[in-house]
Structures are given as C-alpha cells and as structure tokens.
Amino acid sequence: MTFWRSRQGGGVLLIVLASLCFAAMDVSTKHAGRLAPVLMLLWFRYVFQAVATLALRFPVQGSGLMRTANPRFQALRGLLLLVTSACSFFALQYLPVGEFTAMVMLSPLVATALAAWVLKHHVSGARWLMLLAGLAGVLLVVRPGGQVFSWALLFPALHVASYACFMVLTSRLSGEENPYTTHFYTGLVGTLVMCPIVVFSWETAALAAHWPWFLVIGFLGTFGHLMLIRAFARAPAPVLTPYLYTQIGFATISGWLFFDHVPDALAWLGIAVIAGSGVGNALLLARELGRKARSAARGKRA
C-alpha cells in the first residue's frame, strides 16, 4: 500500500483514470454519433476544453495562462490533436470500440520511431522489435476477411500518424511550456478551426434534444487530458506508459456491454500482441533510462 500513497502510485492511478475517461468518451461518441452530427460533437468537445481550462486556470495563472514561447508549435500541436480526434469520432461510427482502440494504441510505438528520426533519440534493437510486433498485431486485427476489414481503416491509420507526431511535439514542448497553457491552446486551436467547419452540419434541434451527450463528451475529453497532465507531473513517462494500455481493456469491455460486440479469436490475439508490444517498449525504455542514470551517477562519483 505504500506505493499507492507515493507520488508515483498517485500518477499510476491518475493515468488509469484518464484511460477510463478516454474509453468512456469513445463509447459515448459512438452512441452520440447516431443522434447528432459528428462535426458538432467534435466542435463542442474543443469548445468545452477551451472554456473549462480558462475558467479553472485563469484565476490561478492570470494572463500567464496564455503566455507561450512557441505559438507556432502550439498551433501545430492543437491541429494535430484535432485531426486525431476527428479520425476517432468518424472511425467509431464504423469500427468496434475495442479493435479501434487497440489499433490506435500503436501510436506510442510509432512515436518511438519518429523520435529516433526527428529528435535523434537512441532506440535499441529490442524496441524496434517491439514496433514490428505491434505492426504484426495490427495486421491480425485488420486482416482481410476479419470483422473490421473495410475502407474505414483509413481513419485509425491517419489517427496513428497524427497522434504519433502529436506525442513527439509534446515531448519537444514539455520542458518549455506550462502544461495548462498547452492544454488551453489545444482547446482554443480546435475551437477556432472547427467554428467555420461546423456550420455546414449544424442542427440546432440535435443540440437541443441531445445536449447531455455533448456535455458528457466534452467533459470526458477535457477531464481525461487533465488527468494525463496531473499524472505526468507526478511520475515519469516510462513508469506511466504501460498503464495507458488499460484503455484497450476498458474499451473492449465497453464494446461488449453497450454494443454487444466481441472480437474474434485472431483479433483477440492481435489486441494482446499490440498491448504486449506497447508495454514491452515502455519497460525497455525504463530500463535504458535507468542504466543511463546509473552511469551518470558513477561518472560523477569518479
């Protein structure tokens, strides 16, 4: 019990809570997409984040909330997350929640490859093998003749690419920006981009009739990302990343409970391979960082 009372233990609990929020948001989006235009749901998700972050953090940070040294990167980061969210919102209208979640959880592995290329991070051979294993797991899920093989697979493919870029850019900004400032600009950019787009599918009657679903989606998306911020403030990424894969379990169970969908045998195998490769990548990274820290400590003593 001592671990769960520590800062790292608290970070783990927060990351699991964030994963639960994201799975619940996906289920809510899949259902709400049958009741209201998807573009309206997407627009409100970012309006809620911008307004809620401003209301919660402006009294604490004042004008500092809006002060950024990297406005272009903030705009690009917000645009990347908007593209990622759009892919999720539309993909969930065609694909099962569990399989979709498993496929997009390939993003951290792809981000590892991008970081090696863009940020020149060292990636060991074992971690490259984890990436290949994750790709093999995705192929098991999306194989021809499987439950999810369709043109809609373009959405999770674009999701993985955009979210991997988002993660690399977030890593680049993490040491330079206040996380709540970044969170605010993410909501603001999404809102500004969506405002002229949403008019083409606006339905006032849908908003009036189904407004609770708009609020649920906006709250879950905003609260989930706030929990991520709080989690990474308590514990390092290598400790927390394996627990992100609990989202696959939450999503698969939710897909069964709410939509009566159960993956077939090969899809289950693919989901397990994706989750295992992601966790393995995180554990290998933690071990590599631990070795570097011990080597640096020995160097200082010498």
| Domain segments of the chain as ranges | 2-301
Exposed, middle or buried by CB within 10 Å (0-12, 13-18, 19+), for 205?
A: exposed
Exposed, middle or buried by CB within 10 Å (0-12, 13-18, 19+), for 265?
A: exposed
Alpha-carbon distance values, 173 to 52, 119, 216, 292 (Å): 22, 12, 29, 22
Phi/psi for 235 (5° steps) reads -145, 150
Exposed, middle or buried by CB within 10 Å (0-12, 13-18, 19+), for 133?
A: middle
pTM of the model: 0.86
- In tens digits, the chain (302 residues) has pLDDT values of 565 566 778 888 998 999 999 999 999 999 999 999 999 999 999 999 999 999 999 999 998 999 998 889 899 999 999 999 999 999 999 999 988 998 898 887 787 777 777 666 677 778 788 888 888 888 888 777 667 778 888 999 999 999 888 887 877 776 678 889 989 999 999 999 999 999 999 999 999 999 999 999 999 999 998 888 888 778 777 777 788 888 888 999 999 999 998 888 888 898 898 888 888 887 887 777 677 767 666 666 65
